[in-house]
Amino acid sequence: MLALGKLLELTLTDREPAEKTQVTSRGVRLRWLGEGALEVRPPESDDSGLDVLLSAGIHGNETAPIELLEELLHGVASGQITPKARVMFLFGNPAAIRKGERFIEQDINRLFNGRHELTSGFEALRAAELEQFARVFFSKPGRTRLHYDLHTAIRGSKIEQFALYPFKEGRKHSRNELARLAAAGMQAVLLQSKPSITFSAFTYEQLDAEAFTLELGKARPFGQNEQVNLDKLHTRLVQIIEGTEPQADASLAGLKLFSVAREIIKHSDSFHLHLPADIENFSELSKGYLLAEDLAEMRWVVEEEGARIIFPNPKVRNGLRAGILVVPDSGQRLG
| Rounded Cα–Cα distance for residues 132 and 33 (Å) | 11
59 is known to lie in a ligand binding site: yes
Q: Are 256 and 188 in contact (CB under 8 A)?
A: yes
Question: What are the C-alpha distances in Å from 4 to residues 16, 51, 325?
Answer: 10, 20, 43
Q: How far apart are CA 147 and CA 149, in angstroms?
A: 6
Residue of 131, 215, 242, 280 marked catalytic: 215
The whole-angstrom separation of Cα 115 and Cα 326 is 25
- As a residue count, the chain comes to 335
CA–CA distance, 45 with 143 (Å, rounded to integer): 15
Q: Identify whether 215 is a catalytic site residue.
A: yes
Phi, psi of 87 (to 5 degrees): -135, 135
The number of angstroms, rounded, from the C-alpha of 221 to the middle of its chain's C-alpha atoms is 18
- If residue 3 lies in a helix (H) or strand (E), which one and from where to where? none
Residue type, 300: W
Q: Which helix (H) or strand (E) element contains residue 54?
A: strand 50-56
Q: Is 74 annotated as a binding residue?
A: no
- 137 phi/psi in degrees, rounded to 5: -60, -40
DSSP state of 313: -
Q: How far apart are the C-alpha atoms of 192 and 172, rounded to whole Å?
A: 11
User: Is beta strand 321-328 parallel, antiparallel or unpaired with respect to 308-310?
Assistant: antiparallel
What is the Cα–Cα distance from 312 to 178, expressed in whole angstroms? 25
What's the CA gap between 86 and 197, in Å, rounded?
26
The reply to whether 263 sits in an annotated binding site is no
Report the catalytic residues. Answer: 215
Binding residues: 59, 62, 151
Binding residues for Zn(2+): 59, 62, 151
